[in-house]
Structure 1
Amino acid sequence: MDGIVVIYTPQGAAKPKELAEAVIDLALEKIKPVLAVWMGGGAEIEEARKLFFKNNIPCYSTPEEAVRTYMYMYRYKRNLELLYETPHELSIDLAPPKHHLKILIRRALNEGREVLTEDEAERFLKVYGIPTPPAGLAKNVGEALMIASKIGYPVALKIISPDIVHKTDVGGVILGVSNEEELRKAFNMILENIRRNNPDARIEGIYVQKMVRDADYELILGSKKDPIFGSVILFGAGGVGVEVFRDYALGLPPLNQVLARRMMEETRIYKLLKDGHRNKPPVNLEKLEEIMVRFSNMIVDFPEIKEIDINPLMASRNSFYAVDARIILDKEAAEKKIEPHSNLVIMPYPVKYITPYTLKDGTHVLLRPIRPEDEPLEFELIKNLSEETKRFRFFQVIKDITHEMLVRYCNIDYDREMAIIAEYTGPDGRKRNVGVGRLIMDPTRKRGEFAVVVADDFQGKGLGTKLIDMTIQIADERGLETIYGIVMPENVRMIELCKKFGFNIRYTPEEVIVELNLRGRRVPEIPETEIRARAKKRPYLKIRPPSEAKAAETETPAQTGRKIEE
């Protein structure tokens, strides 16, 4: 049971107000949502409704209103559950080589073109691992015959010209060429069509592409810049009827496996893709998710792309091919120096922080930002920490590690928070998260709170030092003025480590506050002898509410000294 709707209809056996009071008493004891429906009119009914409102219980005059509200609540809760579902990890290169694609864009703009040719667009797709049919660019009939014999018939021929955007309109496309004789005729026919319909067009060659036969479904995958939401991704049923059937879903990059699946589920064609129909089998949805995530990564990496359409994306049981792609460039974004990812409303995965690192004992780890897919690794890290390490990091002994807790740690907004994990791959190939450095920025973007934890068997190897160092670098890069952390007095190793980085050490009645002013201003430090003396005296401490801790940070050194003496 997820909720309760209590309905009252006017009758002489029970008074509206008394019954409302009884429902309120029960509702306040329960954790499930309660919605009330007090039907009818009159002063007593109105008084009962006001009583519900006073106790923060919604009250309606009809059951339909209550049920509609409940369904809104249910859908909201369900959407959050789906959003924070742990994604599967995909084998995707997060940082493919992009320099030659940047050069390609500059060359096109220097030539006065804002639309890439088909072979140029295909280069983008290939770099990001989006499958395309075998193809080649032919300068003459002989080259076209060689390409066709290599990739196999039937083939499609398409004109490649920087001056022609709509190839079909000028007779620049011929499909279904099945042998050498047809290819010779088709090649010459395309050239004649261009000379007749667009005689001034510059011709770079004719694209010879393998025809994709027997595809079960035609899909569309595209993106377009919106003035408010930035780049928006579109997925749905494709082909010639895309604007007729209008079966599509929209999403915001960056996508992961779960978000890609949610987009699919919003379309009508998803049921066909999932279950198949008659002689059409279902497709490999995991592979389609991977293609969508790769496409999303391309949009994230290239704010210079104003619009892109892959239509059709041909889909069969286990194969997908981007048969036709069109890319329109954003000249302003390409020519001006813009902020990275300014085309996005959601901060993407910060690839630049991925760093291989070697510990003191020669162990290799990979330092990288955390991802939602890391929830199982985060669970294992917390579960295997010693009781002391758990207390030092969380100020309490954590017994139940819930999905909701892990979601908070793994699903982060990279714009306001950063968590760097240390990923270790054992001899058996199994991956472990052996440490985390976390930085949470205040809304003012002037201060940030940091925390570090290292797996017990990896302590003393220099990992904690490196995580703090990266946290400081990230805070400085983001323009923070100060970073601080709250440390238990018993955690002497952490306090000493912070002192090595130049942190100031300050006491409050129940914890030690370590603070580093990134703009060079310093606060008087507490002597190490005081720290050790306090650590011996104080038992395990619970963390105080943030409001109290923040108030304690404003203490003067004199106030702090008096409390130490006490």
Structure 2
Amino acid sequence: MTVRNLDAVFQPKSVAVIGASRRPGSIGNMVWQRLIEGGFKGPLWPVNPKYTHDDDGFDGRAVLADAGDLPAPPTVAVICTRPATWPALVHRLGGMGTRAAILVGEARTDDDRADLRHALAAARPHLLRIVGPGSVGALTPALNAQLGAAACVARPGGVAWVSQSNALTNAVLCWAAARGLGFSHAIALGDEADVDAGDVLDYLASDPGTRAILLEVDTVRAARKFMSAARAAARNKPVLALRSGRGEPGDALYTAAFRRAGMVRVDTLDDLLDEIETLGVGRVAASDTATLITSDRGVAAVARDAFGEAGDTLAQWDDAALAAIKAALPRAQAGNPLLLGDDAKPEHFGLALETLGTHRSTGTAFVVHAPTHSAPVEAVARMLIDRQRFAYRGLLASFFGGVDAKTRDLLHAHGIPVHTTPWRLARAFGRLVDYRLGRELLMQTPEGMPASGADAIEAAQTQARAALATGDGELTGDAAAKLLGWFGLETLTPPRDGNATDAAAKQETAKPIVDVSVEFRDDENFGPVFHFVAPSADGVSPPLRVYGLPPLNPVLSRDIVAQSPYVRRVPPAATLAAVTELSQAVCEVREIVGMQLTLRVLPLHTVVVAPRIRLAATRSRFAIVPYPRRLEETVDWDGQRLTVRPIRPEDEEQHRAFVESMTPDDLRLRFFSAVRSLDHSQLARMTQIDYDREMAFVATVVDADGKPRTLGVVRAVADPDNETAEFAVTVLSGLKGRGLGRLLMERIIAYARSRGTHWLLGEALRENSGMIALARASGFTVTPTDDPGVVGFRMALD
């Protein structure tokens, strides 16, 4: 399961506390007190047979003896009783219609764990979701819903906190409360018996109240679900991850996984806490440069050093910005940092923001200020609030000596983050830059995948299966070289009879730039992964150890290769191709379960040395679903040979041409509004899909120039539970009525049905008679929607 019924946890309408207590220090008492202190406005029912005869009840609420006595099914139940009671309680609550339960207690013994298994089995038929056990709770401050035994009551804010640790959750909640910071949601996952980090990331990805997600995680259990959820979330909003254990052998794999998902890994809890300020308070637009504004030369030097240490870049002003500042503030030292002078007044800070605001070259505004007699902190803060509208890339502030709570809260209320030192401010901004760059990496269009054709891939698959059939589970020497050769990889073979005749052997005498050890293996968390190790480049620094999660395209391969200290010593094209080809080999030949080899990087060439390939009939699933080549097919249509296949990231330009060849009216009917063109980010979302939960089939032909041309596309995007999928289909304007739309519809219906999707849904403008006719002919029921100008389509696939 994934997001199903998680709204019951994060948007509860009524709450039952099973095991509510008056005994100080008990879990039942702490949970009840948090709900009362938080001010939850919905129905709140205490359940405990020990207190049913008390006349005054619990804070004016009658105490119920049993969950069966509840007057209505609670949206969520917080269960504070011992594990032996969990199965019966979950069975009864699920039968009533309760959709979620939070298990605050822990399952410590074998008997406890058996009770937990029975509780999970009791929950399953009712789709009741379980948070925990061992969860300190789930909080939605905007609804005054403080569910659990958290150490502090949280305030509303824009950042979500997701953690596997109760202690860190309590520490973060109290730290934030002391600084006037809040959360959209906060949850401690506990033992993740049901609801896990991937589920919560999926929910928060589309939560409108969450602007950013802070994740603390020690292990990832369901890697494919986690990676799909993390990639979806990171495309929508910043996701920052903290994991302890930097020195552990497998920790670098988590770094690779976080980067592949588009998340930003932070090194310390302090860094994560700073982002509660930056992301939860501020509205900082995408920028990788900034302008420092201060009054004192010493403060400017300190701030500039902090900015440099954090890897940030001071904006290079254009001539117009310099001239404008000199005219507006003649006594200031124009430049970056901008020095307003020791006698600067609050209005000078405001005038600087107003003057620079029209000059885009100045980037994000950083105001770093130490209080002076002429510019007290409170007065400068009010001026920043008054002039922040001019900071088009956002505004961040740092006040040496601190700021009082009233002024701080006022700045927060107007979306201005306040950091205590320039170093914390600079590092926080640097992580925003890292997020933007990582997101751009996710959406870069690959230059093209390896040229291995279907025949070569089939030959490689046949070789692997034939070897297994004869009981040969390992390929070495010529056999391994032959299999890799189908993917364009050249293996260095020893010269025979002293004659180096082949191209690879001739280069044996060339001095290698570096030998990179490559291992492909199964990881217990992330499934099949690559591990690349390069020796120290200077004999002093440690060896390079980098993980890569297949499938790898040329863009992702470049990201791996770029981390090597040897990258500047040789043109990278050959190494990029080799890494990408290795990825294609393991993706296409499912029998490959392990591989060890050396990539020898030569001045003009990269070859494989001493490959060993292990084969087996089955292997673990990839954390990221590779391109599903098995779904490609060639069909005859309207006198043409048509290729129907899943869309690929490198199809972006082809897809752009497809969209641009459609008529304005057809674009309006497809996108429900006037569309002139699609930019790179929009096209990237259409072509770089997660094959685990989305599919798009394109129909292509080869034009007179020998290039593929897209004639039509159909796509379906499933919800994380695979309960429903929404479809859309488009064909070129001049091809309507010739059966191409029906051909594509048949394939997306069959695909959705094969995945176990229950319902296929769609919508069209009421005037789109062609789409409505196609939907009816394909078996959809046409229904009205809340919008009188739009009709809906619905098909049961069970």
How far apart are residue 271 of structure 1 and its match? 1.3
TM normalised by structure 1 equals: 0.70
- Match of 1:212, as an amino acid? E
Instruction: Check 1:402–1:77 CA distance in 2 against 1; reply closer, same or farther (3 A cut).
Output: same
- Distance in 2 of aligned mates of 1:413 and 1:486: 22
Instruction: Check 1:482–1:215 CA distance in 2 against 1; reply closer, same or farther (3 A cut).
Output: same
- Distance in 2 of aligned mates of 1:151 and 1:477: 53
Q: Give the equivalent residue in structure 2 for 1:24.
A: 385
Q: Give the equivalent residue in structure 1 for 2:576.
A: 289
Which string of whole-angstrom CA distances, capped at 9 and with x for unpartnered residues, describes residues 80-133 of structure 1?
Answer: 212311111234226402022122134345xxxx64332332232122221123
- Match of 2:748, as an amino acid? T
Aligned counterpart for 1:356 among listed residues 634, 658, 669: 634
Aligned-residue RMSD, C-alpha: 2.9
Q: Give the equivalent residue in structure 1 for 2:446.
A: 87
Instruction: Check 1:466–1:405 CA distance in 2 against 1; reply closer, same or farther (3 A cut).
Output: same
How far apart are residue 287 of structure 1 and its match? 3.2
Q: Establish whether residue 148 from structure 1 lines up as the match of residue 468 from structure 2.
A: no
- Distance in 1 of aligned mates of 2:661 and 2:391: 35
Aligned counterpart for 2:729 among listed residues 426, 447, 452: 452
Instruction: Check 1:211–1:28 CA distance in 2 against 1; reply closer, same or farther (3 A cut).
Output: closer
Moved more, 377-386 or 28-37: 28-37
Aligned counterpart for 2:765 among listed residues 474, 481, 488: 488
How far apart are residue 258 of structure 1 and its match? 0.6
Q: Give the equivalent residue in structure 2 for 1:262.
A: 559
Q: Give the equivalent residue in structure 2 for 1:321.
A: 607
Q: Give the equivalent residue in structure 1 for 2:314.
A: none
- Distance in 1 of aligned mates of 2:527 and 2:721: 24
Which string of whole-angstrom CA distances, capped at 9 and with x for unpartnered residues, describes residues 462-506 of structure 1?
Answer: 211111111101100110111011011111111111111111011
Q: Establish whether residue 38 from structure 1 lines up as the match of residue 399 from structure 2.
A: yes
Aligned residues of 1:424 and 1:433 also touching (Cα < 8 A) = yes
Q: Give the equivalent residue in structure 2 for 1:513.
A: 792
Instruction: Check 1:323–1:335 CA distance in 2 against 1; reply closer, same or farther (3 A cut).
Output: closer
Aligned counterpart for 1:250 among listed residues 542, 547, 550: 547
- Distance in 2 of aligned mates of 1:148 and 1:458: 63
Q: Give the equivalent residue in structure 2 for 1:422.
A: 699
Aligned-partner SS, 1:64: helix
Q: Establish whether residue 371 from structure 1 lines up as the match of residue 633 from structure 2.
A: no
Q: Give the equivalent residue in structure 1 for 2:367.
A: 6
Q: Give the equivalent residue in structure 2 for 1:219.
A: 515
- Distance in 2 of aligned mates of 1:483 and 1:154: 54
Which string of whole-angstrom CA distances, capped at 9 and with x for unpartnered residues, describes residues 245-291 of structure 1?
Answer: 522432110011111111110111111123xxxxxxxxxx3333222
- Match of 1:513, as an amino acid? G
Instruction: Check 1:261–1:153 CA distance in 2 against 1; reply closer, same or farther (3 A cut).
Output: closer
Aligned counterpart for 1:104 among listed residues 464, 467, 470: 467
Q: Establish whether residue 120 from structure 1 lines up as the match of residue 406 from structure 2.
A: no
Aligned residues of 2:536 and 2:542 also touching (Cα < 8 A) = no
Q: Give the equivalent residue in structure 2 for 1:178.
A: none
- Distance in 1 of aligned mates of 2:503 and 2:411: 73
Aligned residues of 1:151 and 1:210 also touching (Cα < 8 A) = yes
Q: How many residues align?
A: 430
How far apart are residue 135 of structure 1 and its match? 6.5
* Identity fraction in percent: 28
Instruction: Check 1:80–1:367 CA distance in 2 against 1; reply closer, same or farther (3 A cut).
Output: same
- Distance in 1 of aligned mates of 2:776 and 2:602: 59
Aligned residues of 2:634 and 2:644 also touching (Cα < 8 A) = yes
- Distance in 1 of aligned mates of 2:686 and 2:385: 36
Q: Give the equivalent residue in structure 2 for 1:395.
A: 672
How far apart are residue 402 of structure 1 and its match? 1.2
Q: Establish whether residue 411 from structure 1 lines up as the match of residue 760 from structure 2.
A: no
- Distance in 2 of aligned mates of 1:391 and 1:245: 57
Q: Give the equivalent residue in structure 1 for 2:530.
A: 233
Which string of whole-angstrom CA distances, capped at 9 and with x for unpartnered residues, describes residues 306-349 of structure 1?
Answer: 432221424231x33212112245xxxx356x6xxx43100100
User: Which ranges in structure 2 are unaligned for 5 or more consecutive residues?
Assistant: 1-361
How far apart are residue 437 of structure 1 and its match? 0.4
- Match of 1:344, as an amino acid? F
- Distance in 2 of aligned mates of 1:152 and 1:378: 45
Q: Give the equivalent residue in structure 1 for 2:306.
A: none
Aligned residues of 1:504 and 1:516 also touching (Cα < 8 A) = yes
Q: Give the equivalent residue in structure 1 for 2:406.
A: 47
- Distance in 1 of aligned mates of 2:414 and 2:501: 75
How far apart are residue 454 of structure 1 and its match? 0.8
- Distance in 2 of aligned mates of 1:120 and 1:288: 22
Aligned-partner SS, 1:373: helix
- Distance in 2 of aligned mates of 1:152 and 1:23: 73
- Distance in 2 of aligned mates of 1:468 and 1:116: 43
- Distance in 2 of aligned mates of 1:378 and 1:94: 22
1:131-210 equivalences in 2 (<5 Å): 131-133=490-492, 148=497, 152=501
TM normalised by structure 2 equals: 0.51
Q: Larger RCO: Structure 1 or Structure 2 (Cα < 8 Å, ≥ 6 residues apart)?
A: 1
- Distance in 1 of aligned mates of 2:507 and 2:474: 24
Aligned counterpart for 1:472 among listed residues 736, 749, 774: 749
Instruction: Check 1:325–1:488 CA distance in 2 against 1; reply closer, same or farther (3 A cut).
Output: same
Instruction: Check 1:226–1:243 CA distance in 2 against 1; reply closer, same or farther (3 A cut).
Output: farther
Instruction: Check 1:153–1:226 CA distance in 2 against 1; reply closer, same or farther (3 A cut).
Output: closer
How far apart are residue 514 of structure 1 and its match? 1.1
User: Which ranges in structure 1 are unaligned for 5 or more consecutive residues?
Assistant: 137-146, 156-208, 275-284, 520-566
How far apart are residue 73 of structure 1 and its match? 0.9
- Distance in 2 of aligned mates of 1:366 and 1:327: 33
- Distance in 2 of aligned mates of 1:152 and 1:226: 40
- Distance in 2 of aligned mates of 1:27 and 1:434: 49
- Match of 2:569, as an amino acid? L
Which string of whole-angstrom CA distances, capped at 9 and with x for unpartnered residues, describes residues 365-418 of structure 1?
Answer: 211111111111111111221011101110011124211111111111110111
- Distance in 2 of aligned mates of 1:296 and 1:154: 23
